[in-house]
């Protein structure tokens, strides 16, 4: 019986996405018409975009002059996923000190740096890497959570210029490497 329990526990650790088969978070609100489920080398499992990059009616952002109807501007892509979903590095990068990104990213955000961009991964529960670490493709870096997120567990994925601030954020979808899933 102990062997069976150990095998089940090991299988749960090895399955992509870990907790990705859990029930949807009741706090999720989708501010997009995109109902597609996606996979990505950045996360385990199949998930939906909750808040896309750009102008949004999501109530968490101050009105932005780039947006109509007093909408705010979202500088990343939020992908709804259960708490505990495994997050991976999909590119070689160096983990750098996130400094004071602010409370909107939670208390344990990741900042990954390459020669071409910086990547902010927000709302993590646990990090498996630390500033100074070199990460490789496929390496487990963190677990998704609702840390700093009023709208439930999700991944916030943001692409910035190297060393740049929020005002340098650019459309990150290509870097997210989303693949649509036929369900």
Give the pLDDT score at 16.
44
Residue ranges covered by each domain of the chain: 17-181
Give me the tens of pLDDT residue by residue for the chain, a chain 183 residues long.
Answer: 444 333 333 334 344 444 444 578 999 999 999 999 999 999 999 999 999 999 999 999 999 999 999 999 999 999 999 999 999 999 999 999 998 888 999 999 999 998 899 999 999 999 999 999 999 999 999 999 999 999 999 999 999 999 999 999 999 999 999 999 988
Q: pTM score, two decimals? A: 0.85
Would you say 171 and 76 are in contact if contact means Cβ atoms under 8 Å apart?
A: no
Give the pLDDT score at 82.
97
Q: What share of the chain is helix, strand, coil (3-state, %, to 5)?
A: 15, 35, 50
Give the pLDDT score at 63.
96
| Count of alpha carbons within 13 angstroms of residue 175, beta-carbon side | 22
CA dist 102 and 21 (Å) reads: 30
Instruction: Report domain 17-181's class.
Output: mainly beta
**CB burial readout 25-51, b (16+ within 10 A) else e:** beeeebbeeeeebbbbebbbbbbbbbb
Cβ neighbourhood burial of 107 (10 Å; 0-12, 13-18, 19+): exposed
Give the pLDDT score at 22.
56
Structure tokens at 145: 């959570």
- Residues forming beta bridges with residue 112, ordered by sequence position: 95, 119
């Amino acid at each position: 019986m102990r062997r069976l329990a150990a095998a089940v526990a090991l299988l749960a650790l090895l399955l992509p996405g870990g907790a990705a088969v859990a029930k949807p978070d009741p706090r999720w609100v989708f501010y997009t018409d995109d109902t597609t489920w996606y996979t990505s080398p950045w996360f385990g499992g199949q998930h939906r975009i909750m808040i896309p990059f750009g102008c949004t009616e999501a109530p968490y952002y101050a009105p932005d002059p780039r947006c109509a109807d007093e909408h705010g501007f979202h500088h990343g892509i939020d992908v709804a996923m259960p708490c505990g979903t495994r997050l991976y590095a999909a590119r070689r990068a160096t983990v750098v000190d996130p400094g004071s990104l602010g409370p909107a990213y939670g208390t344990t955000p990741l900042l990954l740096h390459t020669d071409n961009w910086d990547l902010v991964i927000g709302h993590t529960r646990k990090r498996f890497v630390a500033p100074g670490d070199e990460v490789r493709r496929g390496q487990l870096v963190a677990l998704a959570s609702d840390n700093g997120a009023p709208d439930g567990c999700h991944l916030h994925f943001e692409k910035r210029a190297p060393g740049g601030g929020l005002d340098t954020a650019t459309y990150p979808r290509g870097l997210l490497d989303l693949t649509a899933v036929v369900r």
